Amino acid sequence: MGLDIRLPLGLIFLIIGGIMAVYGVFTRGSAMYASSQGINLNLIWGLVMLLFGLIMFIAGRKK
Amino acid sequence: MHLSPIDWLIMLVYFVFVLGIGFALKRYMRTSTDFFLAGRSIPAWVCGLAFISANLGAQEVIGMGASGAKYGIITSHFYWIGAIPAMLFVGLFMMPFYYGSKARSVPEYLRLRYDEKTRAVNAFSFAIMTVFSSGISMYAMALLIQTLGLLHGIVPDAWVFHVSIILSAVIVLGYIFLGGLTSAIYNEVLQFFLIVAGFLPLVWIGLRNVGGWHGIQQKLPTTMTHSWRGMTHASTNSLGVEVVGLVMGLGFVLSFGYWCTDFLVIQRAMAAESQDSARRVPIIAAVPKMFFPFLVILPGLIAVSVTSHSSAMQPTSITQQASGHALPLDEAHPHGIIPQKVDPISGHPILDTNGNPVYDYDLAIPVMLLHFFPTGILGLGLTALLASFMSGMAGNVTAFNTVWTYDIYQSYIKKDASDAHYLWMGRIATIGGILLSIAAAYAVTNFNNIMDALQLIFSLVNAPLFATFLLGMFWKRTTGHGAFTGLLTGTAAALVHHGLTIPADAVPGIHGGWIHVVHTYPSDMAQNFWTAIFAFGVNLLVTTVVSLFTKPRPEPELVGLVYSLTPKAPEHHLTWYQKPLTLALGVLAVLVALNLVFA
């Protein structure tokens, strides 16, 4: 099938991960992280998702 | 509940992608094979993820979280005894016949192997069940959106339910109408990764909060943190099932009946690019599936272990617990942050017949998301939840449009039309399937008992099915008359068994005993498992006996359909790790280890 699934998969993780990471940077030390025990989940998990998205996107482009 | 723009933005990105995939794939939909079978061109790992994602609907995510909160890690039996062995079996032994026979659907396999009438029974009952399953997913999603107040302040409260139904229907319709099964499969892969991405941080933060698995073990009673303890007798484990009912009923009959014969999942494997790939699909799927208890059951356990209430969420329940009388949820059944069930009309908490509060375990996972996730990642968590509902819906709709078009329309209504006509019919059937799902969703809303009734019907229809396939694939003597009578008597046996037995503390009626109560089961789960065992047994027996008295089909006609008459596909072109058997043995080893660790 003409479209490699890894492209849209990589893209959506890049975008959502990017949004979360940027938002995490701007909300460092915010009181709202009390619910996640002081861990800046947006920044950390956003970066993890960015990385995953990047790997998928590159793998999809290679073919 | 108030969501910030950033949460909405994340959800919006998801919906744009979902529909975008449909549009991107539209130009590849040239023939009916493209639309219904994804052109049989999808790589095994993609099909494998779709294979579990199609099943990862509302019942799974919400239901498994609820069971985890209610019964504990023992719920993992649904995976480690139930799904995984069945998935390995279908990949190793059954897929060569589904894929190799060139059947386009499971009912079509039944026609090739047996006859028209056996196919008709399966096609019609399956089509009806998919519509209702999709309707239930839709209903559950709308109910959750309403309960959480997601759209509060955006649309009037009285409309939230209807708006949710219509929105989900339009989105699912959009991407299947455009891109058919390929679109559904691609979206299921997306949904799979989003569900993992949304739930993994939840488990991480949740475990940190309660002090890891050891913290849970200290807070909860031992029956909730061990999966095999007390299984020898129904009264000593929280499921109320003894080991024979569990292993035979759930592990063998129900799970094999579902994973090995349900076209909803088999369709994903049939879309694979080759027979080798098709065989690997369920086995690849089993790998992540094995670890799903940590993603969907564990949050339920964490939810009941959390004791530090950040806000005064349920002050009433705590004071009532302190008053010390026999609560259903006392020290043996802690309720953590699970909210009480509230009557949607009066707004008052619901009490059981003894005046004790009733807890809404179905909210275990949603409440966990709200409890631990700050703005931003909360949007991701809710996206994951919505994705699971939509994949459940889409899976059913794609299975429905295929069975309708190939097994009902092409077989009984219009036989010799052009391929373009069937492609067109597939799109029409997609619209029809969605409209019927909406009708089903409202039927579930308006009749209190219909959910119980539907679950009953599903179990009655599914229970005997596996015997028909098992005999068909592995005994060449089985005849069409035998299969047909066996299937009907098996269903009848399930019905009679249900009418003669009843779970403890239920009144005769929809839960059983409507003929005469001759046996009482310790729980409805035990009754359900044993109903399946009886249905399977009767089907096996009747099919065998009738087959022996009727004329079998000549052997050359059965090549490719029956195990003993089909030459084994050569495997020497595969490297060792590509061989289905090696993969399956690896999965099995991990499975045994998981059972031992959590025993």
**pLDDT at residue A57 above 60?**
yes
Q: What is the pLDDT of residue B466?
A: 92
* Placement of tokens 């909160």 in the chain: B69
State the pLDDT at residue B452.
Answer: 72
Chain B nearest CA to A42, separation (Å): 6
Interface test with B, best of A40, A43, A45 (most B CBs within 10 A): A45
- Segments in chain B below pLDDT 50: 308-331
Supply angle C-alpha B445, B449, B450, rounded to 5: 60
Q: Is A41 in contact with B182 (Cβ distance < 8 A)?
A: no
CA B473, CA B110: separation in Å to the nearest integer?
10
| Residues in chain A within 8 Å Cβ distance of B383 | 16
What digits encode the pLDDT tens for the residues B47-80?
999 998 888 876 788 888 888 888 888 888 889 9
- B310/A34 CB distance under 8 A: yes
What is the C-alpha to C-alpha distance for residues B129 and B149, in angstroms, rounded to an integer? 30
Is the Cα torsion angle B217, B529, B545, B485 positive or negative in sign?
A: negative
Which chain B residues are Cβ-neighbours of A63 within 8 angstroms? none
Which pTM does this prediction carry?
0.89
CB contact A31 to B (< 8 Å): no
Exposure string (b/e) for B175-195, b if CB count within 10 Å is 16 or more? bbbbbbbbbbbbbbbbbbbbb
Per-residue 3-state assignment (H helix, E strand, C coil) for chain A: CCCCCHHHHHHHHHHHHHHHHHHHHHCCCCHHHHCCCCCCHHHHHHHHHHHHHHHHHHHHHHC
* % of chain B exceeding 90 in pLDDT: 42
Residue B519 carries which DSSP code?
E
Nearest to B561, CA basis, from B198, B114, B170, B86: B114
- Closest CA–CA distance from residue B373 to any residue of chain A (Å): 6
Strand partners, B42: B272
- pLDDT tens, residue by residue, B309-365: 433 333 333 333 333 333 334 445 667 788 887 766 666 777 777 777 778 888 888
Q: Is A36 on the interface with B (CB under 8 A)?
A: yes
| Cβ of residue A45 closer than 8 Å to a chain B Cβ | yes
According to the model, what pLDDT value does residue B334 have?
Answer: 67
Do residue B186 and residue A3 have CB atoms under 8 angstroms apart? Answer: yes
Q: In B501-579, where does DSSP find H-type helix?
A: 524-549
What are the residues of chain B with a beta carbon less than 8 Å away from any beta carbon of chain A? 6, 9-10, 13-14, 17, 20-21, 24-25, 27-28, 38-39, 41-42, 46, 182, 186, 189-190, 193-194, 197, 201, 205, 208-209, 310, 371-377, 380, 383
- Report how far residue B459's alpha carbon sits from residue B249's, in angstroms, rounded to the nearest whole number: 11
Long-range pairs of B209-214 with CB within 8 A, sequence gap ≥ 24:
B209/A37, B209/B302, B209/B306, B209/B308, B209/B372, B210/B302, B210/B305, B210/B306
Instruction: Give dist(CA B406, CA B123) in Å, integer.
Output: 10
Q: A38 to chain B, minimum CA–CA distance in Å?
A: 10
Q: What pLDDT does residue B312 have?
A: 35
pLDDT at B477: 93
Tens digit of pLDDT for each residue in A6-45?
A: 999 999 999 999 999 999 999 888 888 888 888 899 999 9
Each residue of B528-583: pLDDT tens digit?
A: 889 999 999 999 999 999 999 999 999 999 988 998 888 887 878 888 878 888 88
Please indicate if any CB of chain B lies within 8 Å of the CB of A33: yes
